Chain A
Amino acid sequence: MGAKFDKELEMLIRDKVISPEVAERIGEYYSTKDVEKPNRLFTIFGIFGALLIGSGIILMLAHNWDNFMRLTKTIIAFIPLIIGQGFTGFSILKKKSNTWKEASGTFLFFSVGATIALVSQIYNIPGELGSFLLTWIILCLPLIYVLRSHAVALLLVILSTYYALEVGLWSYRSNVIPWWYVIFLIIILPYYYMLLKKSVLGNPAAIFNWILPISITIALGTFIKHSEDLGFIMYITLFGLLYNIGRLPIFSEVRTLKNGSLIIGSLGTIISLMIFTFRWIWNDLPETFEYDLHGLYVSLTLLLLSTLVFGYTVFKNGIRAINLFQVAFVIFWIVYFFLSGNEILAVVLMNILVFTLGISAIKIGVDKFNFGILNYGLLIISILIICRFFDTGMSFVVRGLLFVLVGAGFFLANYVMLKKQERIKSIKKM
């Protein structure tokens, strides 16, 4: 038990809240509980250790040992891999703790990359970074399930994102679409689902709640290519999908800050829609949309997935639990494809949509007694008003007045809710 915990117990005894006997029993209870719980800190240090050693080996190998014979270099190349496999095999066969599995898995992950890199180096094997990353990822993907390792899964998500960017965006004049990224994602997702099933409130789940949506958001950019006219559609639909995922019943107990899908989905929706409240963007849209077939497939797949997830949440939570954020992407599809010819109507509708989203965020905040969400809603409306200053010819008096009103709104809304909260607290006390 920690020193802080002991001090707290001593204080409780001193203040006569509990008797020394009770304090002893509490101490005993927690010490037996701790024995069963694996040492989390130890696992984290194990992973970091393996991470540093692994990347250290890669750096050392990059030094390029000219003085050795080719055979010597080749044998050296396999040493980290065999050590990594040995440790991993040992932790599987001996059914070692998670710490062992996480650390050995992390080390093996790096040694696979190091060995392939070193062999390519020794024989000057040409090859693009993309194909090297692809081989590396494929050779490590099964480790996620064999070891049940969070660290390996996390590293693979990061490496897959890097692969998507390298192949789809960074290679000069690249026309390649990183479809392999989708396959990697399909392989990694069941692991995420298992993790959620096991402990949806835990920290590992929270990390994946954030890292997966971030990865997908980044990687989607590499799928746009020549379908720029569909780019916004793809992103807004993705944000709709993420928001709806964040609203799934499985996440209902998760704190908002740990619900990455919900936050990224919500912020993404607002930011993208905010861009479409400007008139110039509708002016810039071409008469007829140009896109590749694959761009259309990606957009339609995202639409289908978002609709399915939305339908499922409605089925589970009931129709009354729907909020506007969940369906904003559908409204955008309709406006973008059917009303973009009439730009004034489109702009007005977009402004109303963002305004209503702000209001609905305020309502969610009030209903949940959450000051964060309440102020988020107020912020949406404020930004919308500020944006309108740029493209409307309002006089300075009107603008000034609007600012004062918005500022007053912030104070008032927060004050009213604070009072309400205090009233409820005092009723509970009585």
Chain B
Amino acid sequence: MKPIYISIVFIIVILAQLGIPLKMIYDSEDTLMTGTVYKFKTQPIDPTDPFRGKYITLNFEMNSFDTLDSSYVYGDKIRVYIENDSNGFAVAKEISKEPLKINADYVMAKVVNNYNGKVVFELAFNRFYMKETKAYDAERAYLETNRDEIEDNVYALVYVKEGRSVLENVIIAGIPIQEYVE
């Protein structure tokens, strides 16, 4: 290959290598700035990812939808249309594999089960990255607050726009999880 072609290919590669993470940032910032914020009731637990560090997995309370449609099977990517309930927490309004023409925000999820007229799904934004020393404490903190049986005290703040969702923070008893565990 001639040096000039090598340089051109290299510049394209550089731009792609910079472009992909920049696009990820742009999409997230856009959602955070112009998206609608929802609260999802949740429960944090603590695994690790070898490359991307410590995070807590969130088990959301909103994880199923009653429907008799048996065409949903494990692994299906679905849209979960959401609305707020009387306490201000997100609840599933409708699920669908195709886009629906209804006036509501939706988040993406993966079907994990379908039985007794109930489709169980996993929301896409179930990872919240934390400093490695704090992730385990976060799980314990959650278990302790739960024992106190204070209702509605653990939730995730999620910004939603056109199907994109950004998990901004996890709140325990009114304060962000990082501060709570300190």
Chain A residues near B (Cβ < 8 Å): 58, 61-66, 74, 77-78, 81, 85, 88-89, 92-93, 95, 112-113, 115-117, 119-126, 129, 132, 135, 139, 142-143, 145-146, 173, 175
13 contacts between A and B (CB under 8 A): A93-B7, A113-B51, A117-B51, A121-B53, A121-B55, A124-B128, A124-B166, A124-B167, A129-B49, A129-B51, A142-B9, A145-B1, A173-B75
Is B125 interfacial (CB 8 A cutoff)? yes
Chain B residues near A (Cβ < 8 Å): 1, 3, 6-7, 9-10, 12-14, 16-18, 20-21, 24-25, 28, 49, 51-55, 74-75, 124-132, 134, 166-168, 178
How close is A225's CB to chain B, nearest CB, in angstroms? 13
- Flag if B54 contacts A64 (CB, 8 Å): yes
- Flag if A119 contacts B52 (CB, 8 Å): no
Query: Which residues of B have CB within 8 Å of A116?
Result: 20-21, 24
- Flag if A92 contacts B54 (CB, 8 Å): no
How close is B110's CB to chain A, nearest CB, in angstroms? 9
Query: Which residues of B have CB within 8 Å of A115?
Result: 17, 21
- Flag if B166 contacts A123 (CB, 8 Å): yes
Query: Which residues of B have CB within 8 Å of A64?
Result: 53-54, 129-132
How close is A57's CB to chain B, nearest CB, in angstroms? 12
- Of A85, A93, A126, A135, the residue contacting B14 (CB under 8 A) is A85
- Flag if B13 contacts A139 (CB, 8 Å): yes
Query: Which residues of B have CB within 8 Å of A123?
Result: 24-25, 28, 166
CA distance A139 to B52 in the complex (A): 18
Which 9 pairs from chain A and chain B are nearest by CB? A62-B53, A123-B28, A124-B167, A126-B124, A66-B131, A121-B129, A119-B21, A117-B52, A64-B131
- Flag if A146 contacts B9 (CB, 8 Å): yes
- Of B1, B10, B25, B134, the residue contacting A74 (CB under 8 A) is B25
- Known A126-B124, A145-B1; judge A62-B52 contact (CB<8 A): yes
Query: Which residues of A have CB within 8 Å of B130?
Result: 64, 66
- Of A81, A95, A124, A142, the residue contacting B129 (CB under 8 A) is A124
- Known A62-B132, A126-B126; judge A135-B20 contact (CB<8 A): yes
How close is B120's CB to chain A, nearest CB, in angstroms? 14
Most buried by A among B126, B129, B134: B129
How close is B51's CB to chain A, nearest CB, in angstroms? 5
- Flag if B127 contacts A126 (CB, 8 Å): yes
- Flag if B10 contacts A63 (CB, 8 Å): no
Query: Which residues of A have CB within 8 Å of B24?
Result: 116, 119-120, 123, 125
- Known A88-B10, A135-B20; judge A66-B178 contact (CB<8 A): yes
CA distance A92 to B125 in the complex (A): 41
- Flag if A124 contacts B74 (CB, 8 Å): no
- Flag if A81 contacts B17 (CB, 8 Å): yes
CA distance A58 to B49 in the complex (A): 12
CA distance A85 to B131 in the complex (A): 28
Query: Which residues of B have CB within 8 Å of A120?
Result: 24, 52
Closest to B75 in A: A175
Query: Which residues of B have CB within 8 Å of A142?
Result: 9-10, 12-13
- Flag if B18 contacts A81 (CB, 8 Å): yes
- Flag if A61 contacts B53 (CB, 8 Å): yes
Closest to B28 in A: A123
- Flag if B51 contacts A89 (CB, 8 Å): no
- Flag if A124 contacts B125 (CB, 8 Å): yes
CA distance A85 to B127 in the complex (A): 30
- Flag if A89 contacts B25 (CB, 8 Å): no
CA distance A268 to B175 in the complex (A): 60
- Known A120-B52, A121-B53, A125-B24; judge A139-B16 contact (CB<8 A): yes
CA distance A139 to B20 in the complex (A): 9
CA distance A92 to B131 in the complex (A): 38
Query: Which residues of A have CB within 8 Å of B16?
Result: 139
CA distance A78 to B25 in the complex (A): 12
Query: Which residues of A have CB within 8 Å of B166?
Result: 123-125
Most buried by B among A115, A139, A146: A146
- Known A77-B21, A81-B17, A175-B75; judge A126-B125 contact (CB<8 A): yes
Task: Given contacts A85-B17, A85-B18, A116-B20, list 4 more A-B pairs with CB under 8 A.
Answer: A124-B55, A124-B127, A125-B28, A145-B1
CA distance A175 to B111 in the complex (A): 14
Query: Which residues of B have CB within 8 Å of A125?
Result: 24, 28, 166
CA distance A65 to B53 in the complex (A): 11
Closest to B52 in A: A117
